[in-house]
Amino acid sequence: MEVPKIEKNIGISLYSTNTEGLGGKLRQEVEDFVVKEITNREEGQEGKYLILELIKRNWDTHHLTRTLAKILQISQKRISIAGTKDKRALTTQKISIFDIDASIIENIHLKDVELNVLGRSRKSIEIGDLWGNAFIITIRDIPSSPEEARKLLEKTTNEILFKSGIPNFFGIQRFGSIRPVTYLVGKAIVEGDFEKAAMLYIAEPFPDEPAEIKKARQLVKETRDFRGGLKNYPLRLGHERAMMNHLIANPNNFAGAFTILPKNLYTLFVHGYQSYIYNTILCRRIENSLPLNQAIEGDIVCFKNNVGFPDSSKTEQVTAETVDAMNRLIKRKRTFITAPLPGYKTEFASGIPGEIEQEVIQELKVPLKGFNVVEVPEMSSKGTRREILLQVEPKFEVTEDELNPIKSKVVLEFMLPKGSYATTLLREYMKVDPLCMS
């Protein structure tokens, strides 16, 4: 089945299943997308950090932390999370706030937000605290009967289980659903062209944006008139406006314009470029008929952590002497084959897997040394490895869709390790334009 152009643009050129797509749509209601964080933290009663359970509905995570900081009259840097959650969803996660009394939380009343005090800790919530996420996702508006949908679901699920999972692609959210510009900005940064990077982010229009925004971006792209841009860009494009304000005050300081943005945003650009390269390498491996669930000589594997999820910090290269032992561990889900998220100290595979990795790096003309970003060191990346197989065992229920007459709905339940995308699984079932999944 043909992959949508928007996915091809981010390095995903294939489906791993050969079944028909269900079709349908996601997020018709906020509660159709439920996410709950899986963490190994246990909180106590002592420490400078107040630990809270945050349950939010239809809130962008960064917008919410900014709002909390304003209410508490503190720096946003004092609020920490383990991972960003979907906006149009019902999500549950832990957050920490430095040096705040628990009694203050009782006075916070935000629509569609619930904050529950869990305890205190000497350590803030960090990315490493997140092991994974549990999902309950409803696909609606499926144009087939419940019986037909169930048969197709079973067929796709059986194929996924037979292959031990699906390719662990970075989903469209990593790049931007409406405006997939992240990796293009990152590419320009790694190539050392901050002016191009800034203009791509500020002014490159994309087809699925509203007409007035496309017009405003095009004008700035053609004229470099940032003052005019501030008059025409809506307030919701706050990041672009902040960068333009910086460039008005500091002409040609394009690298500095990125540091005006929140750190967790401006570091995403280089990560987005790494993700695009990784997706391309993973597709190339599949196209060369290399398995995802069986290591060959030259592969680099990582090992499981305490809860059974892959830990890319512990890797080993597979040799002729160890390949059989490694594949026994892979079958027991104790070891996982990886592909590179390249950086300036990338660990590449050898043998045939390494040839594929190097081939893609050369074809895309990736300047590996450029991942050491001197102008903004926080953007730099030594590189790492990521598991290539997303091992998932979904459960599902099919019924009539009460919101869409004569249509069906599916409720899927599954767990994923951190950094993996629910839409990577959903695309195998739905096989639709990614905008139907945003």
For the residues of 103-164, what is the DSSP string, one character each? Answer: HHHTT---TTEEEEEEEEESS---GGGEEEEEEEEEEEEESS-HHHHHHHHHHHHHHHHHTT
Which parts of the chain have pLDDT scores under 50? none
**Long-range contacts for 97-100 (Cβ within 8 Å, ≥24 apart)?**
97/49, 97/50, 97/52, 97/68, 97/72, 98/48, 98/49, 98/50, 98/74, 98/124, 99/48, 100/50, 100/72, 100/74
301 and 326 in contact (C-beta within 8 Å)? yes
Q: Report the pLDDT value the prediction gives residue 41, as an integer from 0 to 100.
A: 86
Per DSSP, what are the bridge partners of residue 25? 140
pLDDT tens profile 240-295: 999 999 999 999 999 999 999 988 789 999 999 999 999 999 999 999 999 999 99
Q: Report the pLDDT value the prediction gives residue 109, as an integer from 0 to 100.
A: 94
133 and 35 in contact (C-beta within 8 Å)? yes
pLDDT tens profile 104-119: 999 999 999 999 999 9
Binning the chain into helix, strand and coil, the percentages to the nearest 5 are 40, 20, 40
Q: Coil, strand or helix: which one is 242?
A: helix
Tell me how far CA of residue 70 lies from CA of 62, 77, 113, 238, in angstroms.
12, 12, 15, 17
99 carries an active-site annotation: no
- What is the CA angle 175-177-179, rounded to 5? 75
Set 86, 129, 299, 401: catalytic member? 86
| Sign, Cα dihedral of 437, 12, 416, 157 | positive
Q: Report the pLDDT value the prediction gives residue 176, as an integer from 0 to 100.
A: 85
Q: Coil, strand or helix: which one is 317?
A: strand
142 and 23 in contact (C-beta within 8 Å)? yes
Q: Report the pLDDT value the prediction gives residue 177, as an integer from 0 to 100.
A: 81
- What is the CA angle 19-20-22, rounded to 5? 120
* Cβ-based neighbours of 145, under 8 Å, separated by 6 or more: 408
Q: Report the pLDDT value the prediction gives residue 211, as an integer from 0 to 100.
A: 96
Q: Report the pLDDT value the prediction gives residue 11, as an integer from 0 to 100.
A: 96
Q: Report the pLDDT value the prediction gives residue 173, as an integer from 0 to 100.
A: 85
pLDDT tens profile 195-225: 999 999 999 999 989 999 999 999 999 999 9
